[in-house]
Structure 1
Amino acid sequence: MEEGKEQHIFLHDEVSYIIKCALDDVLGDKDYQQNKINVWKSRIFEISLHLLMKLNKSSKYLVSLIIMQKNGAGLHSASSCYWNNIKDDKCIVKWENKTIYCIVSVFGLLAI
């Protein structure tokens, strides 16, 4: 691998781990509460972006989050990107507990 090239690699395993840790920390065993969603999502974004920036990669990150009550309803989600397939990438993390479904999408875009 060329010197410095490792800075441009989107590390799926590390990104997925960061997101799962943020979700476990904020949501853990909590029950779904509509009035807590704004606080939870702000905290998840704060933790996730802070830890993503600590990866010290030359990337910009976009984090998207869906929190939904687990009640038997269906959910369909999609995304589409026009980007550099070599330098940019994404990671989708699905998380759930007994009352909450959560889907987090992280897009890593090369900043240089």
Structure 2
Amino acid sequence: MEEYHPTDESSFNPDETTNTIKECIDSVIGRVDYNQQQVNKWTSSICELSLTQMAKQGKPYKYIVNCAVMQKCGAGLHTANSCYWDTAMDGSCTVRWENRTMYCVVCVFAVAI
């Protein structure tokens, strides 16, 4: 069975979303070193800024944003997501970002209204 992927301007675009999320991460933690006391603030700021930017696009979606920040220290980090939804309209993307001292993983889920 072939999946339908809408191409109109109101559809969820994972590539556009990835770029938006990377800009949000860069603006919050782009040039700073990992600081455990700041992680809660950073993750909240990244989620809020991401939601604000996604909502500004005016697309008919409800958004769910999850953010994790981890210090680079040689430990492993594995994440997974699974959704049961309308693949023709709903969408998601995961953005992995890193700098010299930390990793940031942001997952965005877009559920059509």
TM-score computed with the length of structure 2 as normaliser: 0.90
What is aligned with 1:52? Answer: 54
What is aligned with 2:77? Answer: 75
- Could you list the structure 1 runs, at least 4 aligned residues long, displaced by more than 4 angstroms after superposition: none
What is aligned with 1:43? Answer: 45
Once superposed, what is the RMSD of the aligned Cα atoms? Answer: 1.2
Q: Which shows bigger deviation, 82-91 or 7-16?
A: 7-16
Whether the aligned pair in 2 keeps the contact of 1:91 and 1:107 (CA below 8 Å) is: yes
How do 1:1-112 residues align onto structure 2 when only pairs under 5 Å count? Answer: 6=8, 8-111=10-113
TM-score computed with the length of structure 1 as normaliser: 0.90
Deviations 1:47-106, CA, capped at 9 Å, x for gaps: 111110011100000001111001110011111110001010111100000001011110
Deviation at 1:7, TM superposition (A): 5.2
Q: Any stretches of 5+ residues in structure 2 without a counterpart?
A: 1-6
Q: Any stretches of 5+ residues in structure 1 without a counterpart?
A: none
Residue identity over aligned pairs, in percent, reads 45
